[in-house]
Amino acid sequence: MDSPFAELRQRLIELAPAEAGQWLHQFLAHQAESFEPRPFYYAFSGATRRFPKVPVQDASLRIPSSPDFAPHGWTIDQLARTVLLLSLVETHPSVFLQTYRALLDTADMRESVALFAALPLLPEAAALVPLARDGLRSNIVDVFDAIALHNPFPAMHFDEEGWNQMVLKAIFIRRPIHRIRDIEKRANPALAQSLTDLAHERWAANRPVPPELWRSCQQQATPTLAVDVARVLDTPGPGQREAAALLVSADPSGSLAALRPEVADLLPRIESGHLTWDSLGQALESGGN
């Protein structure tokens, strides 16, 4: 089986200008013989001088050797930076972690996005988790998105506290929750209670509560769930009734059974798979109902 490095390098050569592909071949061959930090840093930071910022079709970057890797919105220069990183993993694994940290220390926004979006392809996950959690503190939305959205790394490697903090921040900064990988698999009682508390705070301040907030409360029996879902049903705005219906439909305890008649028109859509948390999130993101 090919490695992620071999597969993505071949894809990069197919996409990149011929001169850039020739340079890449020569540079990687030289670095494979003897790793030189400074030229590597220059190559990584200077990727945009050789490789265009042209979007790449997401499906074209899916690779058999890493089935969980699901790139979204990548550009050719980002792919080039990822290939450079993976070349270290392939040829000089002993210097990979220190080089990754050094790159992150001086990275601009686009470089940070490349470093974090590549996480699921990289080794030494335990050492990378603290770096990813630090990255989530960024005020730059693109950097947050590179870690939190379309990226399997958090679900695979974050502990409960790290996961919960990421989801809560995603709510705070209004990111599309449906793009967080394995959001339902990582649901937990502590997160459900934190989200419920957040909803109560917003209601008390007459601030809106996004419908996707409730996704991680599904099948989590918080003490006020029935009252909260009833309030969601009475809340005007796109997606509110749909979110309540999804919660009622998935209720394992029967505590929401009394609300089923109020969402009876939506239950067949849920049962048929036409209304899901993903479809709701997509509709909300696109401005639909």
In 3D space, the residue among 125, 71, 118 whose CA is nearest the CA of residue 97 turns out to be 125
Task: Classify residue 137: in a domain, yes or no.
Answer: no
Give residue 1's pLDDT: 47
Q: In this structure, are 112 and 21 located in the same domain? A: yes
Tell whether 112 is covered by a domain: yes
Condensed to tens digits (0 to 9), the pLDDT of residues 209-233 reads 999 999 999 989 889 999 999 999 9
Burial class (CB in 10 A: 0-12, 13-18, 19+), 241: buried
The pLDDT value recorded for residue 206 is 96
Q: Domain of 65?
A: 4-122
256: in domain: yes
Q: Which amino acid is residue 194, in one-letter code?
A: S
pLDDT tens digits for range 154-210: 999 999 999 999 999 999 999 999 999 999 999 999 999 999 999 999 999 999 999
Q: What percent of the chain lies above the pLDDT cut of 70? A: 99
Q: What pLDDT digit, counting tens, does each position of 53-90 carry?
A: 999 999 989 998 898 898 999 999 999 999 999 999 99
Contacts of 141 (CB under 8 A, 6+ apart): 173, 175
- Residue 32 belongs to a domain: yes
Measuring CA to CA, which residue among 232, 175, 165, 170 is closest to residue 200? 232
Task: Look up tokens 């009394």; give the residue.
Answer: 258
Question: What share of the chain has pLDDT > 90, as a percent?
Answer: 92
Q: What is the mean pLDDT of residues 127-148?
A: 98
In a domain, 234, yes or no: yes
Count of domains observed in the chain: 2
**Residue ending a domain, choose from 122, 137, 160:** 122
Mean pLDDT of the region 33-43: 95
Q: Which two tokens stand for residue 157?
A: 């490697």
Please report whether residue 140 resides in a domain.
no
Calpha distance 90→87 (Å, rounded): 5
| pLDDT above 90 (res 247) | yes
Q: What is the pLDDT of residue 128?
A: 98
Give the SS3 label for residue 209: coil
In a domain, 177, yes or no: no
pLDDT tens digits, residue range 113-137? 999 999 999 999 999 999 999 999 9
Mean pLDDT across 248-265: 92
Question: Average pLDDT over the chain, rounded to whole?
Answer: 95
Please give the pLDDT value at position 254.
86
Residues 6+ apart with CB under 8 A from 234: none
Domain end among 96, 122, 148: 122
Q: Does residue 26 sit within a domain?
A: yes
Q: How confident is the model at residue 288 (pLDDT cuts 50, 70, 90)?
A: low
Where is the domain boundary, 122, 144, 176?
Answer: 122
